[in-house]
Amino acid sequence: MNGVGEREASDSAAESISSELLINVIRTLTTTVSNDQRQLEKQRIEQCYRQSEQNIDKLLKEHRSDALHCLSTFQSVSKELTSSREQIRNIKSSLSLCKTFLQCRRDDLNKFWLENAQQKKVCDILQQIQQIKKIEKTVDVQLANGEYKEMIRVLKDADVLLKGPFDKMEGISQLKFVVSENLQKVFGQIVNDLLQCVFVEPFEAQTLEAVKSGKMVESKIGAALIERYPKKKLVALNDEGALRLRLAELLQSLLVFGQVDKALDEMFDRMPNLFLRLSNGAAEVVKQSAGGERSAGERDASHLAKFVNIAIAQMSFASRNFALLSLELQQLSHQFLPNCQPIMKRFWHIVQVGFEEILAEYLLVWRNKKDGNDGAGGGGVQKKALFSFENASFVSSVNASSRKKQFCVVCTPDIYNVVAIFHKLSALCREVESQLGEDCCYLSVYLQTFVAEAFLEQIRVDLERQTESVLNGADLWSSMSDVPPHTQRILSCCVRVFELCERINGYIVSMEPYALRFASFWLLILEHFIKGFSDKYFQIVMLRQVHADGGWADYPKLSAAWVVDEDISRLLMSLPSWSAVKKSPFSPDQIQTPFAADVVNLANILGESEQEIRERTQRESEILIGNLGTQKQPKSSELITSMDHIKALACLHESLQWFVGKMRALVDGLSSRAKELTKTRIQITTSGNGGTLIDQMLCEAIAERINTLEKLSDNLLLILHLELRFHCFFHLITITQNQSALSLLSQDEIDRDVMEFGRDLSQFHATLHAHLSPTKLKYLFDGLGYLCSSIFIHSCQYLTKLSEMGRKRICRAIFSVQKYLSQLSGRPETELQRAQIFFDFLNKDLDQLFATIVERGAVFSFVEYSILLSLLIRSHSTLNSQPGVLEAATNQLRDILSHQQKGKPNQKPISSMVGTEAANFSLITHVIFDLDGVLIDTERHYTTANERAMEKFGSKFTRELKLMMMGRKKSEAVPLLLKDAGLAGRVTSEQYMEEYDQHLKQIMSTLTEELPGATKLIDHFYAQNIPLAICTGSDSEEFGDKMRKFDKWLQKIPIRVLCGSDPEVRNGKPHPDAYEVTMGRFVSKPVSPKNVLVFEDSINGVESALGAGCSVVMVPQREFLPKDWPEKELRSRANFAALLDSLEHFCPKPFGLPDFRLREGGGCRG
C-alpha cells in the first residue's frame, strides 16, 4: 500500500510538473519578442520532452507487476457484484406478493369499522340534540348562580354544533332559535353586570354615603339603598382585586362569542340616561336632607355644592372602576382586540356631557341640540353654548320650565351658582385631564366658555347697575351704617360699595384663575366711586360767583384752595401735628371727650402737656398767622359755614379712610398666585386727558385709585382742620382789626361777637364729635389756644390806637375765648394767657416794659414785642406825636434781647443732662443702638406675648417680672422668669419659649412700629460716616421677624450683635459682654470705650453699657420703669450722659458730633 501511495504521489507530482511546463511554454511563446529567444526556448522544451519520455518508459518498466495485479482484482469484484444483483431481484418479487395479501386483509377490516362508527355517530348526535333541548333550563340556573364560564361553555358548544356539523341538518331550526335567544339573554345580563360593577354601584354607594351623612337613613331612598347595599357589600366594592376578577370573567365570557365591542357599545349607549337617573337620585337626597325646601341666597348655593360634591365623588369612584376595566381590556387587546377604543375617553366624555346638561339647569344655560350622534369617543365636536339671559325672557322661562321636569333641582337656578362650585369643577377637570393626558377636557372648555362669555359679562353689567344705584341714591350722603368694630358710623354708600368689592374678592378666592378679570372690576368700581365722591366734594368746597358780564364761574373755598396747592398741603402734612394724627400714640379710650373728665385728670391720662401741644402745633400757627394775620378778614363766602357740609366732609373722611383700609386689606389678602395675575399689564382708559389709553399693570392701577381715595380722605381732614382755624380768624379778627369797633361798639356787641365765635366752635365740635374719631377730634382742636392767642396779638398791628376801655374789652374777649376753648378741649388753654399778658403790657410805659423783659426774660418773640411797642406808642398821648420814638424803642428792644441771648449760660440741649458739662464728655466716634424700646416699639409686644404665655400655663406676668427680663438674653431670662413665677419644675424653658415665640411672631409681623426720632438719628449718623451697630438681646429668628419692615436701617447698620444667638456673648445684659463684643467688631476700633455712645432703654442695658465703659444715653419707656428705679444713682455714674424721653430730644453737638442741619421748623430743642 505504501508503494501504491508513493506511486500516486509521484504521478501527481509528474502531472503537476507537466502542467507547469505546459503553462510555462505557452507563456514563453506569447511573451517572447525576438526569434532567437523563441528558438532558444523551443530547444529547451524539446530537450525537456525527450527527458520526460525517458522517465515514462522507465516508470512503466518498474511498475508492470502492480498493473497486472490490479486487473486481476477488478475481474473478481465484478463477478461478486453480478451475484448480488440476482439475489436482490428475488427478494423484491417475494415482497410484492406479501403486499398484495395485506391489501386484501385491510379492505375487509375497513368495511367492518365503518359499519360500527356510523352507528356510534348517530347515537352521539341524538345525545347532543337532547342536551341542546335542555340548554334553556341550564342557562337559567347558571345565570342565577353567576356561573358565566360554565354557561358560556355550554352555549359555545351548542353554537359550534349548530353552526358546524348540524348546519345543514333539517328539522333543528327550533333548536337554533333557543340557542340564539339564550345567547341574547346572557349577553344582556353580562352588559347589565358590567354596568352594575363599573357605573351603578359606585354612584349608588356614594349616594348612600350622602344618605348616612345627611341622617336620612329612615327615608325611602335611604332604606332602599341600605337594603341593596349591606355593610359587607360596601366593603367588597372597595376591593380592587375582587372587581378585577369579576370584570375578567365577564370579558372572557364576551370574548368567547366575540361580543366585547358590541357589549361595550351597548353599555356606553345606556350610560347617559343612567347617569341622569343616578344624578337625580343624588339630587333627591340633597333636597330631602335640606328639608325639602329651597332657601334663598347662600343656602341654595351650599345645597348645589353638596350635590356637586356627591356627583364628583360618584364620577371619581366610577372612573376607578372604568380604569380597572380598561386594564383588563388592554390585556385582551394585545391578543384578541387590537381595535378596542379607549375606555376612559368614552367614559369621561359621556359623564362630562351629562354633567354639563345638569349644570346647565343650575346656571341658566342650555346647548343647541343638533341632529345626529354626538359620538361616543372623546373627540366629538363641541356644541355651541347659548345662555338663557341672552334671549327673550318669555323664551327663557318656557324653555327653563320645560327642562326642569327632567331634573330634580336642589336650588334656584342662577348664573352666580358657579361661584360655589367652581373650585370643585376645576378640581374635577384637572382629574379628568390627568387621567386622559389631555391639556383641556370637554368640561373645562365648557366651564371656561361659560365664565368668559357669560358669567364675567353678567357680573360687569350687575356691578355697573348696582354701583350706579348706590352712588345715585337719594340718601347717598345722609344714610349711615354701623360697621363693628369701627367706632364711627360710615356712609351706607361706602359700605355698600365695599360690599361689592368684597363680593369681587369672594369671586377671586373662589375662582382664582380669573383673578385678573375680577380685579379689573375693582378698578371699574373704584373709578365710579372716585367720580361720585369727587362730585360731592366739589359741591361742598366750590364757590360759585357771578361775573359783571352776567356769567358765572366756580372757585374753591379758602380751605380747599390751600389744600389744592401742593406746596401748602405738603408743608402742612409735614408738620408734627399731622404725623401725630396719622400715627397717634393714644388709643380711643385714652382720649376723653369734652365734659367727660376734669382737666387735671385728663392731662394726666393723656400724658401730653399744653407745652408739648404748643411745641407740636406752634409752627403751624406761625404759618397761618404769616399768611392770614397780615391780610384782611376772610369773607364769610370763602368759608364753609353750613354744618351739614361740615358733617358731610367728616363723614366722607371717616368713610373713605375706612374704605381705603378695607380695600388695602382685601388687596393684601390676595393669594400669591392672584397677586401675580394682577401684575399683568392692561390697557386702561384714563378719566382725564380726553380719555387716553395707557398701558399699566392692573395692581398698580388699583393701588393708584386707592391712593387717590386716601389722598382725598386726607384732604378732607385737612380741610376740616384749616376750616376750623379759618373760622377762628374770621371771628377774632372782627374784634381787634376793625379800627372803629373798640370805640364805637358796646361791650354787649363785642360779647355777641365772642358768643358767635363760641357758638360756631361748639357747633363744629358737636358735629365733628359725632362723626370723627376721638384721635382726629383732638388733632383738630389741639393748638387752637396758641393760634387764638397769636391772632389777638398779631391783629393789633392794624389798630390805630387802643384805649384802656378797648384793652379791657379785648381782655374780656380773650377770657371768654379761653373759657369756650377750655370747655371744648377739656384743658385750661393757658396759651391764651399769653394774649392777656400782651395786653397787660400795654398798661406799662416803655421803661417798665424793658425792665420787665430784663428781669423776667423774653416772653414773646421780637416780632410780637415790636407789635406791642408800636401799639403802645400809637396809643400813648405824648409819644405818638414824637418822631423817632418807635425806632429808638425798637433798637433798645433788640439790644436787650440780643444781650439776653448772649448772656445766657450754656444751656444743656438735653433737659436732664447730668451736672458734668457736655464739653467734658469724650469725643464720640462710634454709636451703638439697643433695638427694643430704643429704635422700635416692641417692649409692649414682649409684654403681651409673655402675658399670653403665662396665662396658658396658669400664671400671671407682673411688672416685676417684666423689669427682671428687660435687656437679658432669652435663654437666661426664661429660667429666671419660671423660677420667680413659681412654674419651675412644672413648665420647661423649651415649652415656655415655644408658646412665647408663637404669640410673639403673630404680634411682631404686623404691629411693630419705629419710635419717634429713630430714622432721623440713624440717617444723620450715617450721612456723617459715623460707624453704627445694633446690640440686642434677641436671637436671629426674632430679629428677622422684627426687622422685616426696617430693611432701610440694616443697609446703614452693618454690625448687628444678637446676644440671644451669638456664641461670643457668654453672658447677656446686665453683664458687659454684649457691648464689649460689639465694640470689638467695629472695623475701625474706637480709641477708648468712652468714645462709643450707647442708646439704651432698660436698666439692665444701661448697666451693661456702663460696665463696658461706654458713654450712655438712656431713653426709657417710663411705663416699664419701676416706681423706685435708681435714677439718681444712674445719673451719678461716670459716663452716664443723658436721660431723654425720646430720641427726638437728642442733640449731637455736646458730644462732639455734627449737628443736625437746620430745616424749617427743625433743629435741636432745649
pLDDT at residue 121 in the model: 66
By C-alpha distance, which of 894, 884, 887, 908 is closest to 853? Answer: 894
Residues 808 and 953 in one domain: no
Residues 1032 and 1141 in one domain: yes
- The grid coordinates listed for 445 are 372648555
Q: Higher model confidence: residue 743 or residue 504?
A: 504
Contacts of 171 (CB under 8 A, 6+ apart): none
Contacts of 1158 (CB under 8 A, 6+ apart): none
Q: How confident is the model at residue 911 (pLDDT cuts 50, 70, 90)?
A: very low
pLDDT at residue 1110 in the model: 93
Q: What secondary structure letter does DSSP report for 543?
A: E
Question: How far, in Å, CA of 337 to CA of 329, rounded?
Answer: 8
- The grid coordinates listed for 13 are 507530482
By C-alpha distance, which of 743, 744, 736 is closest to 871? Answer: 736
Q: Higher model confidence: residue 873 or residue 249?
A: 873
Q: Per the domain annotation, does 951 fall within a domain?
A: yes
pLDDT at residue 928 in the model: 95
Section 250-273 average pLDDT: 81
In tens, the pLDDT along 913-938 reads: 333 333 345 678 899 999 888 988 87
Contacts of 854 (CB under 8 A, 6+ apart): 896, 900
Query: 1138 - beta bridge partners?
Result: 1113
In tens, the pLDDT along 984-1019 reads: 878 888 888 888 877 777 776 666 788 888 998 998
Residues 632 and 775 in one domain: yes
pLDDT at residue 380 in the model: 36
Would you say residue 592 has pLDDT above 60?
no
Q: Per the domain annotation, does 413 fall within a domain?
A: yes
pLDDT at residue 369 in the model: 38
Section 1085-1091 average pLDDT: 87
pLDDT at residue 1079 in the model: 93
Residues 946 and 1054 in one domain: no
Question: How far, in Å, CA of 265 to CA of 287, rounded?
Answer: 34
> Can you give the CATH number for the domain in which 943 is found?
1.10.150.240
pLDDT at residue 740 in the model: 44
Residues 831 and 727 in one domain: yes
Q: How confident is the model at residue 236 (pLDDT cuts 50, 70, 90)?
A: confident
Question: How far, in Å, CA of 209 to CA of 215, rounded?
Answer: 10
Task: Return the active site residues.
Answer: 930, 932
Rounded to two decimals, the pTM is 0.60
The radius of gyration of the chain's CA atoms, rounded to the nearest angstrom, is: 56
Residues 973 and 1044 in one domain: no
List Cβ<8 Å contacts ≥24 apart for 242-247. Answer: 243/197, 243/321, 243/324, 244/324, 244/327, 244/328, 246/193, 246/197, 247/194, 247/197, 247/198, 247/324, 247/325, 247/328
In tens, the pLDDT along 734-785 reads: 777 654 444 555 555 557 878 888 899 999 999 988 888 888 888 888 888 8
Alpha helices for 414-514 (secondary structure H) = 418-436, 442-450, 456-471, 492-510
Residues 319 and 193 in one domain: yes
Q: Per the domain annotation, does 267 fall within a domain?
A: yes
Contacts of 499 (CB under 8 A, 6+ apart): none
Would you say residue 101 has pLDDT above 70?
yes
| Cα separations in angstroms, 712 against 529, 534, 650, 689 | 12, 8, 12, 20
How far does Cα 174 stand from its chain's mean position? Answer: 76
Section 308-314 average pLDDT: 89
Q: How confident is the model at residue 664 (pLDDT cuts 50, 70, 90)?
A: very high
Section 1036-1059 average pLDDT: 84
| Cα separations in angstroms, 434 against 344, 378, 663 | 11, 14, 38
pLDDT at residue 1119 in the model: 73
Ramachandran bin of 690, using left for φ above 0, alpha for ψ from -120 to 50, beta for the remaining angles: left
Residues 776 and 834 in one domain: yes
* Listed residues 992, 1007, 1022: the one ending a domain: 1007
Which residue type is seen at 141?
V
* Listed residues 842, 866, 883: the one ending a domain: 842
| Cα separations in angstroms, 315 against 287, 345, 352, 443, 498 | 20, 13, 9, 13, 39
Q: Per the domain annotation, does 101 fall within a domain?
A: no
In tens, the pLDDT along 169-182 reads: 655 555 666 666 66
Residues 826 and 927 in one domain: no
By C-alpha distance, which of 818, 872, 802, 805 is closest to 841? Answer: 872
For 17, the domain range is 2-62
Residues 824 and 866 in one domain: no
- ∠ CA(1011), CA(1016), CA(1020), 5° rounding? 140
DSSP secondary structure string, 502-541?
Answer: HHHHHHHHHTGGGHHHHHHHHHHHHHHHHHHHHHHHHHHH
Q: Higher model confidence: residue 325 or residue 588?
A: 325
Which residue type is seen at 209?
E
Name the pairing type of β-strands 1092-1096 and 1111-1114. Answer: parallel
Would you say residue 299 has pLDDT above 70?
no
DSSP secondary structure string, 342-381?
Answer: PHHHHHHHHHHHHHHHHHHHHTTEEE---SS---SSTTPP
Q: Mean pLDDT of all residues in the chain?
A: 78
Q: Per the domain annotation, does 124 fall within a domain?
A: no
Q: What secondary structure letter does DSSP report for 551?
A: -
Which residue type is seen at 64?
R
Residues 484 and 392 in one domain: no
Name the pairing type of β-strands 385-387 and 1136-1139. Answer: unpaired
pLDDT at residue 947 in the model: 82
Residues 188 and 227 in one domain: yes
pLDDT exceeding 90 applies to what percent of the chain? 9
Q: Helices (H), strands (E): how many in the chain?
A: 46, 14
Question: How far, in Å, CA of 515 to CA of 522, rounded?
Answer: 11
811 exposed, middle or buried (CB, 10 Å; 0-12, 13-18, 19+)?
middle
For the chain, the domain total comes to 7
Query: 1055 - beta bridge partners?
Result: 1029
In tens, the pLDDT along 787-823 reads: 998 888 888 887 888 888 888 888 888 888 888 888 8
pLDDT at residue 660 in the model: 92
In tens, the pLDDT along 400-422 reads: 444 444 567 888 888 888 888 88
* Listed residues 519, 534, 549: the one ending a domain: 534
- The grid coordinates listed for 675 are 397677586
Q: Per the domain annotation, does 776 fall within a domain?
A: yes
Q: What is the 3-state secondary structure (H, E, C) of 602-671?
A: HHHHHCCCHHHHHHHHHHHHHHHHHHHCCCCCCCHHHCCCCHHHHHHHHHHHHHHHHHHHHHHHHHHCCC
Would you say residue 154 has pLDDT above 70?
no
Question: How far, in Å, CA of 295 to CA of 309, rounded?
Answer: 19
Torsion of CA 276, 277, 280, 281, to 10 degrees: -140
Q: Per the domain annotation, does 1104 fall within a domain?
A: yes
Would you say residue 200 has pLDDT above 80?
yes
Q: Per the domain annotation, does 164 fall within a domain?
A: no
